[in-house]
Amino acid sequence: MPHILTAQNGKVESVYYPNKTTYEWWIEDLDVQPDINSQEVNMGTVDIIDCYAASKEGALAASNEPNQSGCLRRLFGNDAEGHLEIGYAYIIDGVLDTNFCSGHKVPARFLKQVNGETK
């Protein structure tokens, strides 16, 4: 539990900043480079060029594009220390992953929003 000491009016106080979890839909613009040494079509490297917040609909649409991916981003932290943990759950073939890359489960409300609409 983060506490920060502050000095106001000559008095030192401890201010408590609770941790909180927030979620946001996200789009990543990708640079897909095929591997020159590979005979496999799906082999290669993927670099993230840019990423930005989006609507759920935007993230869903991006997941169907060859040079974009759509995901749900989980942010955990507080106002004093910033983001302590960031996790991503990707939309693949119209289905949202059930876990974030950080190991946390995706809340059911988000799974229902995406997976319920695509079935």
pTM, two decimals, is 0.70
Q: Is residue 36 included in any domain, yes or no?
A: yes
Q: What single string gives the DSSP state of each residue in 55-87?
A: -HHHHHHHTTSTTEEEEEEEEEEETTTEEEEEE
pLDDT digits (tens, 9 = 90+) for 91-104: 988 899 999 998 99
Q: Is residue 7 included in any domain, yes or no?
A: no
Q: Is residue 38 included in any domain, yes or no?
A: yes
Domain range for residue 83?
18-118
How many structural domains are present in the chain?
A: 1
pLDDT digits (tens, 9 = 90+) for 25-79: 988 888 776 655 555 545 456 677 777 778 888 888 888 888 888 999 998 988 7
